[in-house]
Chain A
Amino acid sequence: MLESYIPIIIILIISVLFAVVNVNLSSLLGPSRPNKEKLSTYESGIEPVGTAHERFSVKFYMVAVLFILFDIEVVFLYPWAVSFIGLDQLKMMYSFISVSVFIIILLVGYIYVIRKGALNWD
């Protein structure tokens, strides 16, 4: 039974080698002329301000959690939408109703989130 896992081990080895070899090769072969700007933290072209070790407002986490929730909804909807076309009349109705139930549940959750003020920034 365990022999069937050998391909996974090979893939692991290849991926580790690929990462290690490439990173090291580029630092070995490429020219290295550092200056102050090059060594500073990358902030999309803006000069870095202060350290990153700060307390974050809990609102960021709220938005992140909500984003994941509704993102998953979309992830589920894509395969449904793709396979919807090939169905016959009865199954179309059936799958439409089941997905509607799924969306309504999330919609109630969404209304709840808005009414409780989870998305209010102030």
Chain B
Amino acid sequence: MSAELFLMMRFEILLIATALILLICSLIFRGDRRAKIIPIAITLFFINVIVGFLPIETGEMFGGMFRTSALNIFFKNILNAGVFIIFLQSAGWLGKNHNEFHYPAEYFLIIISSLVGMDFMISSGDFLMLFLGLELATIPIAALVASDIHKNKSAEGGVKLILSAALSSGILLFGISILYATTGTVYFNEIFKLVEYDKLQILSFIFIFTGIAFKISIVPFHLWTADVYEGAPVNITSYLSVISKASAVLILMIILYRVFGQIVYIWSAVIYVTAILTMTIGNLFAIRQKNLKRYLAFSSIAQAGFILLGVICGTAVGLSSVIYFLLIYIFSNLGAFGVVAIVSNATGKEEMDDYNGFYKTNPKLSFAMMLSLFSLAGIPPVAGFFGKFFLFTAAAKQGYYLLVFIAVVNATISLYYYLLIVKAMFINENENPIEKINSDFYAKAGLVLCVIGIIFIGFFGAIFDYINSISLTL
């Protein structure tokens, strides 16, 4: 094997190199100079994002364990951009002097290593690589969830995450072992030919689906979500709800299409039921939430239900509409979390009532928040509308009219609670609203990126065309 072949792993190698440089920097900048690592990390990661767009060879290596395709690369770029925005948003939180979390270098290191795991997971061509990547993606995050060491809720969230991750990994591994027992191979391409209407294989599908459903927090495997999201620091919550969820959705599609592609009849029934449950329960619980982090947690569960609408299609159009929706979802959810992070960082307030009269003191922040919420709800001018529209049309094309009807009803319900916050910010009166917040440069840059994404992705039809053209390379 020649050395050029390793260039296919460019994303992973670059990320590991970045992590190594940061590790060395953390040894140089110690004590009070710790905060100097933040600009270095952000610059390095920015270079990563830029280099990611350079062309890259597609193909297989290690006997098919690792594969790159146009879609994988595009998705890795999306994840890179999302993590970059999260880094921008967390700079202010990490830079504060009297912060509970004193380890900025370790924060970047842990997130980067988790991202490496996701990249490997996305590129995997067999179940062993997939499992390895999944573990590397999940376990480091538990450390960050528990990093708010003076809060009991943070520790509780960390323990809950690691327990549910361990349980789901166990279930997933059991499914993989059953599949291996019936087919005698772990490679996706070979399993694809051997899967048929065999009872043991259907059982293994159910186990594997359950394991991944935990990561996407599909109802009824969502119970850990709200507590973990509430306990974790805001930036980690946004990482969990955006990056982690998006990569898990892609993995679900890879497994459904490339491994269980022969038993569409079975898995579309499973997804049909879980999609309805996820949308409805996520929406109904979101209405009752008062804490913004819990609220966004349930809203992200409901969004996962909408995503399943595209997954169920099993067609190229469905696939590309899911990727497109995920792209928009990353920007809109990061926008909402960005505002919550800025406010929580400056004042420590995370309740919905605290946002009453927010527009009077912070017009720009409340405008960004409004745009993100509109995009999440799917109100026409912003990108979120196009994302939902393509998902619904893809499902309707396959004849899932009842499902699309329920989804539309749910979208209307979600409109109510998304507008509740908009109402609180713009209409509700408050005697002592949150005072004017002067956010740092990085947080502003992150929000601007999100707003640009929300406004413009919807209008550039070329993006959807591009995704559509590469969607068959899954």
A binding-site residues for B, Cβ under 8 Å: 1-2, 4-5, 94, 105, 108-109, 111-112, 115
Contact = CB atoms under 8 A, between A and B. Distances in A.
A4 B182 CA distance: 10
B20 A1 contact: no
B50 interface: no
A42 to B, nearest CB: 33
A2 B182 contact: yes
Interface in B436-466: none
Interface stretch (B22-30, B212-220, B271-279): B22-30
Contact of A111 (B16, B27, B184): B27
B23 A108 contact: yes
B362 interface: no
Contacts of A108: 20, 23-24
B402 interface: no
B28 to A, nearest CB: 10
A40 B277 CA distance: 59
A contact face: mostly helix, strand, loop, or mixed: helix
- Interface residues of B toward A: which range? 10 to 19
Contacts of A5: 181
A109 B183 contact: no
A111 B28 CA distance: 12
Contacts of A111: 27
Interface of B: 3, 16, 20, 23-24, 26-27, 30, 181-184
Contact of B27 (A1, A2, A105, A112): A112
B21 to A, nearest CB: 10
Nearest to A112: B23
B20 A105 contact: yes
Contacts of A4: 184
B76 to A, nearest CB: 21
Nearest to B21: A108
B23 A94 contact: no
A1 B3 contact: no
Contacts of A105: 16, 20
Contacts of A1: 181-184
Nearest to B184: A1
Contact of A115 (B20, B27, B182, B184): B27
Contacts of B16: 105
Q: Please list the 7 inter-chain residue pairs (A to B) with the smallest Cβ-Cβ separation, ordered nearest first.
A: A115-B27, A108-B23, A1-B182, A112-B23, A108-B20, A1-B184, A112-B27
Contacts of B184: 1, 4
Contacts of B27: 111-112, 115
